[in-house]
Amino acid sequence: MSKDLPKRDKDFSGWYTQVVNRAGLADYGPVKGTMVIKPYGFQLWDNIKESFDRMIKATGHVNAYFPLFIPKSFLAKEAEHVEGFAKECAVVTHTRLKSDDTHGIIVDPESKLEEEIIVRPTSETIIWSMYKKWIQSYRDLPVLINQWANVVRWEMRTRLFLRTSEFLWQEGHTAHESAEEAQEETLNILELYRKLSEDYLAVPVFTGIKTETEKFAGADKTYCIEAMMGDKRALQAGTSHNLGQNFAKAFDVTFQTRDNKEELVWATSWGVSTRLVGAVILTHGDDKGLRLPPRIAPIQVVIVPIFKDDKQVIKIKDYIDPIILALEKKNIRIHQDWSDRSPGYKFNEWEMKGVPLRIEVGMRDIDDSTLIVARRDTSEKIKLSHKDATNKIIDLLEEIQDSLFDQAKKFRDKNTYRVSSYDDLKRIIIEGGFVRCGWDGTDETEAKVKEETKATIRCIPMDEKPKDLLCVYSGNPAKHEVIYAKAY
């Protein structure tokens, strides 16, 4: 399976595309820029989705669903918002097709809509049009709604999972009676995103706030989690936005306060997407393919029996069935590969798919009352006794989860540099890595560094230490410490 796979250090982009394809995660759709998520890839997304869904429900959020189609006039109500998405919108102009003797099928010109419809790029406008109907009093607040949906953003340059014209995500939209409550919500969600990324995906992240030029269109403040991928580029893995009263103002969403006054509602929105699948691949993959953290892996343990005939099949099944039953009782996701392909082929296939643990069992293992377990994170093979196998396997899965996070964090920390020289910044950006340095807070400096290096300010980290720093570009006193990097 990994034969002829491009080497990560020689062709990282080619390696990524091949892994997505060969591991059975996704394929290209018939419309340029679209993606077909295959069952194995969708199982991975499902596990990420379910992990986060449990988190938000535990904090009082509920799921709902809003329409895919948005009246064009809705986007025009919030000027900054429409400007931010105008170039990415797919627009519906007609409602039907008809047969044509010359061209076969054509758009029926008589079905032209009076008002064009936008295919959802994000749902703030449609949701706030509904909140206007639902919110009258402080008693109706807070509204803590999330939806799992697809969105369309007409991308010109696409890459599977990382940037496609249509993708899956969750988008939370909340309404509050005070600015303080909205800010608290924004930061609480940011912490949930950090927890999802680090505790489940084993991807270490920096949490921080976006600059004014990088924030979400229509937000007062945008917070983010930023991760380093295996090629030392940054990936924005999730964003949480404090929308202030901007959308409440645009859609005239007011409420009666506790002291009988009328006030605009305060809002947040936040989202992560199938881009997280790309983050897992780019962070943990190696020259053999995927390496998946056990907590989100579709298959946590694959069993590869080694047999010659039906008699051996029966003996092996009798030998491993008690272990399988015990693991399934612990909710471990197991797959048994009884196909007639060679053991070597199976080993390569399951390594490509990134299954955390592979159990190899043949007649010799039965005679020794042992099992051979191969760790995907380290390629180490371990001999386990049959009677201790269940507990050891559960322990190994936790070790692998921690090991993948530790490896990724060491890689990130090794390639994150604090500099005071612009020449050092330029050199590191060319070589690859994150640069922590001073920034004078001006749009001009931010634009110049981006123009000259192609690097952007990924975030102002929450743990910034701007005191006594000078701006790496202008030499003026730094307003913030920031992280620069090239990004996906």
Q: What is the pLDDT of residues 241-288, one digit of tens each?
A: 999 999 999 999 999 999 999 999 999 999 999 999 999 999 999 999
Asked, for residue 315, whether it belongs to a domain, the answer is yes
Instruction: Give backbone dihedrals phi and psi of 382, rounded to 5 degrees, phi first.
Output: -130, 135
- H/E stretch holding 328 reads helix 310-329
The residues pairing with 227 across neighbouring beta strands, listed in sequence order, are 205, 235
| Whether 141 and 227 share a structural domain | yes
Among 431, 422, 434, 426, smallest CA distance to 459 is for 434
Judged against a pLDDT cut of 80, whether residue 395 lies above it is answered with yes
| Whether 278 and 318 share a structural domain | no
Measure the CA–CA gap between 316 and 311, rounded to whole angstroms.
Answer: 9
Question: Tokens 């305060």 — which residue?
Answer: 266
Report which residue type is found at 468.
D
Q: How much is the pLDDT for 430? A: 98
Asked, for residue 115, whether it belongs to a domain, the answer is no
Cα-based distances in Å from 232 to 7, 87, 197, 433, 434? 15, 29, 17, 5, 7
Residues in the chain: 488
Q: What residue spans of 165-252 are helical by DSSP H?
A: 179-195, 246-250
Q: What is the pLDDT of residues 132-176, one digit of tens each?
A: 999 999 999 999 999 999 999 998 788 999 999 999 999 999 999
| Whether 62 and 155 share a structural domain | yes
Q: What is the pLDDT of residues 412-436, one digit of tens each?
A: 999 999 999 999 999 999 999 999 9
Helix, strand, coil proportions of the chain in percent (round to 5)? Answer: 40, 30, 35
Of 244, 259, 284, the domain-final residue: 284
Judged against a pLDDT cut of 90, whether residue 82 lies above it is answered with no
Asked, for residue 269, whether it belongs to a domain, the answer is yes
Asked, for residue 110, whether it belongs to a domain, the answer is no
Q: The domain that contains 41 carries what CATH number? A: 3.30.930.10
| Whether 30 and 86 share a structural domain | yes
Question: Tokens 């059975």 — which residue?
Answer: 24
Question: Tokens 């400007």 — which residue?
Answer: 83
| Dihedral angle, C-alpha 303, 381, 1, 283, nearest 10 ° | 100
Q: The domain that contains 393 carries what CATH number? A: 3.40.50.800
Asked, for residue 139, whether it belongs to a domain, the answer is yes
Judged against a pLDDT cut of 70, whether residue 37 lies above it is answered with yes
Cα-based distances in Å from 8 to 19, 63, 224, 225, 232? 11, 39, 27, 24, 12
Asked, for residue 457, whether it belongs to a domain, the answer is yes
Residues 466/479, Cβ–Cβ less than 8 Å: yes
Of 354, 373, 399, the domain-final residue: 399
Asked, for residue 204, whether it belongs to a domain, the answer is yes
| Whether 394 and 423 share a structural domain | no
What's the mean per-residue pLDDT of the chain? 96
| Whether 50 and 178 share a structural domain | yes
Reading across the β-sheet that carries 480-485, which strands appear in turn?
Answer: 62-63, 143-152, 166-176, 266-273, 234-244, 221-228, 205-209, 456-461, 480-485, 434-439, 416-418
Neighbours of 459 (CB within 10 A): 26
Judged against a pLDDT cut of 90, whether residue 1 lies above it is answered with no
Asked, for residue 168, whether it belongs to a domain, the answer is yes
Q: What is the pLDDT of residues 207-221, one digit of tens each?
A: 999 999 999 999 999
| Whether 80 and 225 share a structural domain | yes
| Whether 351 and 390 share a structural domain | yes
Q: What is the pLDDT of residues 124-144, one digit of tens each?
A: 999 999 999 999 999 999 999
Of 249, 284, 319, the domain-final residue: 284
Judged against a pLDDT cut of 80, whether residue 462 lies above it is answered with yes
Measure the CA–CA gap between 457 and 455, rounded to whole angstroms.
Answer: 7
| Whether 387 and 425 share a structural domain | no
83 confidence band (pLDDT: 50, 70, 90): confident
- Say how many domains are in the chain: 3
* Tokens encoding 280: 């897992």
CA atoms within 13 A on the CB side of 147: 15
| Whether 368 and 422 share a structural domain | no
Measure the CA–CA gap between 193 and 272, rounded to whole angstroms.
Answer: 8
Q: How much is the pLDDT for 2? A: 67
Report which residue type is found at 248.
A
Q: The domain that contains 471 carries what CATH number? A: 3.30.110.30
pLDDT above 90 as % of the chain: 94
DSSP state of 109: G
| Whether 162 and 32 share a structural domain | yes
Among 193, 177, 173, smallest CA distance to 125 is for 173
pLDDT above 70 as % of the chain: 100
Average pLDDT rounded to a whole number, residues 305-332: 97
Q: What is the pLDDT of residues 178-201, one digit of tens each?
A: 999 999 999 999 999 999 999 999
Which domain, by its residues, includes 374? 301-399
| Whether 334 and 388 share a structural domain | yes
